[in-house]
Amino acid sequence: HSFGRRARDYSRHAHLQQHTAQTLAAFLREHGGLPGDGPAVEIGCGTGLLTELLHVPGRPYLATDLSPEMLEQCQIRLSERLGQQRQGLSFAVLDGQTAAFAIPPAAIVSNLTCQWFADPVAGLARLARQTPLLAFSVPLKGSFPEWEAAFADLGRTSGLLPLPQEQAVLAALEALAPTRLVHRIEERQQHFPNATAFADSFRLIGADQPRTGYTPAPIRPVLKRFSSGLYATARILYCLVMRERL
């Protein structure tokens, strides 16, 4: 997992994460916020962009990430930004796709993380089964069509990680018979000065993890094509799954 090495670069390239963290936090507030005062668990906290928006001093909040280096960056960043307001906040290295909680957390939250799972749809359903509230954002299939089109024009496939399909995610969550399931889709267009800046940003959401069995084609012609900049559109699903009976 090479994410650790990139932890320091994270904040430089995490414009999309910053935006989706703010949007997810606002979406959650609009629908009543974190329920009760029990512990909340965040899956894939990165450098703590969502953590900072959701943590309330004194309320137990466990920020987790698969990468120890990323978690360390998160702790450093939040201690600088929150100071004494950190009360109740704790950190743990955790793989969100196998996480099992002995006591169901009051809420599980996740910002642009579950696409890293071997099976994002099953992983999200598994998390939703363990809590009265799952709040997440995830990039969907159909994201970054500009990038895919550039490869297609060169007679190639981009070989990028297949992102989860909207219908598959929603169907798996509906199958749990939640009390409420609310979602919103956003098409978020960003401008990048060049293809390298785009690729750096891309990496943070796991979108550059090649499909199994795929041999990367040289992307120099694609980079050249975007040397004067490019727009890239992410399709983001924001979703709240509320369940009364676990």
**What gap in Å lies between CA 174 and CA 191, rounded to an integer?**
35
Res 183 pLDDT > 60: yes
End-to-end Cα distance, the chain: 33
Contact 123, 114 (CB under 8 A): yes
DSSP 166-194: HHHHHHHHHTT--SEEEEEEEEEEEEESS
Position 206 pLDDT exceeds 80: no
Using one digit for the tens of pLDDT, what is the confidence trace for 22-65?
A: 999 999 999 999 998 899 999 999 999 999 999 999 999 999 99
Q: What is the pLDDT of residue 141?
A: 95
CB-based contact 120:136 (threshold 8 Å): no
Which numeric CATH code is attached to 3-141+162-188+233-242? 3.40.50.150
16 pLDDT higher than 60: yes
Task: Tell me which residue of 183, 24, 17, 40 sits closest to 116, measured CA to CA.
Answer: 17
pLDDT at residue 161, as a whole number: 75
Q: Would you state the pLDDT for residue 211?
A: 61
Which pLDDT score is estimated for 63? 98
Q: What is the pLDDT of residues 91-133, one digit of tens each?
A: 999 999 999 999 999 999 999 999 999 999 999 999 999 999 9
Name the CA dihedral angle for 112, 118, 121, 122, rounded to a multiple of 10 degrees. -130
pLDDT value at residue 189: 94
Q: What are the residue boundaries of the structural domains of the chain, listed by start?
A: 3-141+162-188+233-242
**Amino acid 1: pLDDT:** 47
Q: How far apart are CA 197 and CA 223, in angstroms?
A: 10
For the beta carbon of residue 133, count every other beta carbon within 10 angstroms.
Answer: 25
Q: Coil, strand, or helix at residue 93?
A: strand
> pLDDT digit string (tens) for 149-170?
888 888 887 767 789 999 999 9
Backbone angles phi, psi at 176, to 5 degrees: -85, 0
The secondary structure of the chain in percent helix, strand, coil, rounded to multiples of 5, reads: 40, 20, 40
- The mean-pLDDT minimum among 83-87, 91-95, 118-122, 201-205 falls in 201-205
Token pair 């795929």: residue = 214
DSSP letters spanning 4-44? HHHHHHHHHHTHHHHHHHHHHHHHHHHTT-S-SSS-EEEES
What pLDDT score does 74 carry? 94
CB-CB contact of 201 with 190 (8 Å): yes
> Rounded to 5 degrees, what angle do the CA atoms 5, 7, 11 make?
145
> According to the model, what pLDDT value does residue 207 have?
56
